[in-house]
Each structure stands twice: as structure tokens, then as C-alpha cells.
Amino acid sequence: QMSCVKKALALCNSVLGSMLMTILFFQTTGATMSVQADPLCYDPTNPIRLLLASASSTFFAGFPVVLSTTLAKRRVKSAEDWTRKQRRHHIRKWMCINGVMLAYDLSFLLICILFSMSFFANLSEADTW
């Protein structure tokens, strides 16, 4: 089971990670061209290219989310013969993993937000559709 915070972080990372990969695709391919650019340089009637870009960005953005949710799941361990020290050690281990995964999720979220904001800040009025 996962807590509500982890589920919310996974959802935000999925959405913003997909947006990050889409922005990265369009930024590196030069598809965000200005109005003054030559019309022959860009073919806006190619929906296959845009569909492939969005599908691949969603696919590649899913890797960090899958890693995070897979490592965040806990299985119930029933060990009645454990000592108090063994239980504390096991719970401490889970808490450390939770802390690392929370830091990973938050850092990925902040990187997505920072990269997206820097992309949007570099757009001008000439970059409109």
C-alpha cells in the first residue's frame, strides 16, 4: 500500500515528467519556431510526428514514476518470533527507504517544474501559434 502523499507525488511526477519530455523533444528538434521563420522549414500538417512525440514522452516519463512506486510498496511481514530489536531495525530500514524515495520524488518534481518554467520563460510573443 502507498500513502496519499506518495500517490499524489506519483501523479504529479507522471504529468510533469511527461510535460518535461515533450518540452525537451520540441526544444531539441526546433519545432517551437517563431512566426518570422520560413514557412517551408516546418510542416504543421504532420500529426504523426506530434503523436509519436507525445507517446514517447509519456513512455519515457513513466520510468521514474514506476521506479518510485515499485520501491514505495511495502509487503506485510509476519514474524512473531522477531525480537524487539529486529522489529525496530526493520521499521528503521523502511523509514530510511521512505525518506530516500520522498527526496527522489520531490527532486524529480522540482527539476520538472524548473525546466518547464525556464522553457516558458524563453518563449516570446513571436512564438505563438
Q: What is the mean pLDDT, run by run of 10 residues, along the chain of 129 residues?
A: 79 85 72 59 65 78 80 72 86 87 89 87 66
The pLDDT value recorded for residue 126 is 61
Residue 128 backbone phi and psi in degrees, to 5: -80, 165
The pLDDT value recorded for residue 97 is 85
List Cβ neighbours of 96 (8 Å cut-off, separation of 6 or more).
Answer: none
Unique residue bearing C-alpha cell 524548473 = 114
The pLDDT value recorded for residue 92 is 92
pTM for this prediction: 0.68
Q: How far is CA 90 from CA 76, 84, 93, in A?
A: 12, 10, 5
Whole-number CA gyration radius for the chain: 21
The pLDDT value recorded for residue 43 is 56
The pLDDT value recorded for residue 110 is 92
Q: How far is CA 128 from CA 20, 58, 71, 110, 120, in A?
A: 19, 24, 41, 26, 12
DSSP 34-61: -TTS-GGG--TT-HHHHHHHHHHHHHHH
